[in-house]
Amino acid sequence: MTDTTSTPRQGPLSHVRILDLGRIMAAPWTTQMFADLGADVIKIERPGAGDDTRSWGPPYLTASDGTKTRESGYYLSVNRGKRSVTVDIALPEGQAIVRQLALTADIVIENFKVGALAKYGLDAQSMRQLKPELIYCSVTGFGQDGPRCNQAAYDFAIQAMGGLMSITGERADMPGGGPQKVGVPIVDLMTGMYAAVAILAALARRAATGQGDTIDLAMLDVASAMLANQAMNFLVSGKPVKRTGNRHPNIQPQDVFACADGEFVLAVGNDGQFARLCAILGLPQLAEDERFATNKARVSNHDVLNPLLCSAFAGFSKAEITRKLESAGVPAAPINQVHEVFEDPQLRHRQLLRNLPHTLSGTVPQVVSPMQFRDAPLRFDRSPPLLGQHTVEVLDELGFDQQARDALKAKGVIDQ
């Protein structure tokens, strides 16, 4: 198999180096995006154990000989393109290595508990004293200050605390009703996205001023900011926001509807689309009915409109109704299972699913970045690394010879 480790990086951030002290999902999601964009991301992991998500399985990747590896699907989803270095940061020699790496980096990102890195001299204040132009991003559950700052947090708990679960799920009086979490760790992912935006803003400012920055990003802040229109629905009206299942609270008809052989999503967005929907259903009079002619009226009269639509959709198959609606410019879609998503001809055309070379399995599937650049194209040739795969390589770059590495290994600082 071709070794792509030393292949020159390309992409719009190929000039950037990131020291990744992140674990789990939020911070690693950020650094995977930067790796996709060409940055050299050096991921620091615990000797012998590594990132917590390495053990979050099954499923685990299957090796070429049919045995199961230690590479969990969870870990593989968020660590593409990085270099893994195992270093025990609890030991002074390990701390010294991390500080050396920070001096070569543009960005440090971490998601330890508040104050945890200060005892090692690896916190933002200590690191930026060494290198003032460094951009240091801390990701925590609740931020660096405030009454909850020392609490631990996971995505599930933050979805609950941040209000997201209160507006996700079917109404309490319906079958299966009650609060629901989103099917992916959405707060982790969005915190990673906000972190990426914040870091890019700091990079742009540094290019203009030469100054670094310290970024404090909290998952609870992100979850609350994500409430978007639902937050404003409450703030403007003063009325508590209620779960409405798949029904949109402000635009109608937008819901899941049953047809002859299953269910599909309808997402009418304006009065013109509603009129075209009515024509397809053979009910043009509904578009002229004052109860339904405007979106405001349709929202107010949803309980009258919905049974009429449900009755009409029952005479169509999923394929027929979605084809007719798509042809008429009315947004509608089948509800795909995960395996069906990657069979869609549009995603196949866009090459979102790719197989990258992997040391143990030959190849590993990856859902690659959706960002496409004409003049600085992204290249996906480095799979999620094995634990400590690049320890020797990175230490060699820092000037550690074999004798120095052996001494570090003897002290338990590294395990390679």
pLDDT digit string, tens, across residues 226-279: 999 999 999 999 999 999 899 999 999 999 999 999 999 999 999 999 999 999
* Rg, the chain, Cα only: 25
Residue positions counted in the chain:
416
> Domain segments of the chain: what residues?
17-225+346-410, 254-340
Cα gap 132→174, rounded to integer Å: 57
Mean pLDDT calculated for residue range 192-199? 98
pLDDT of residue 174: 86
Scan for tokens 């995960």, then name that residue.
338
**CA 21-27-28 angle, 5° bins:** 85
Mean pLDDT calculated for residue range 301-327? 96
Catalytic positions, written as ranges: 188
Mean pLDDT calculated for residue range 4-33? 90
Confidence check: pLDDT of 351 > 50? yes
pLDDT of residue 7: 67
Mean pLDDT calculated for residue range 312-338? 95
Confidence check: pLDDT of 4 > 60? no
Burial profile 271-287: b = 16 or more Cβ within 10 angstroms, e = fewer: eebbbbbbebbebeebb
pLDDT of residue 173: 86
Q: Which two tokens stand for residue 77?
A: 């989803």
**What is the architecture of the domain spanning 254-340?**
2-Layer Sandwich (3.30)
82 closest CA partner among 21, 2, 1, 155: 21
**What is the architecture of the domain spanning 17-225+346-410?**
3-Layer(aba) Sandwich (3.40)
Confidence of residue 205 (pLDDT cuts 50, 70, 90): very high
Mean pLDDT calculated for residue range 366-389? 96
pLDDT of residue 6: 55
Is the pTM higher than 0.75? Answer: yes
Confidence of residue 2 (pLDDT cuts 50, 70, 90): very low
Task: Compute CA distances 107 → 18, 26, 101, 320, 359, whole Å.
Answer: 5, 16, 10, 52, 28
Average pLDDT value over all residues in the chain: 95
pLDDT of residue 3: 40
pLDDT of residue 1: 29
Mean pLDDT calculated for residue range 132-156? 97
Query: What letter does residue 152 receive in the DSSP assignment?
Result: -
Query: What letter does residue 192 receive in the DSSP assignment?
Result: H
User: Which amino acid, one-letter code, is at 302?
Assistant: H
pLDDT of residue 8: 78
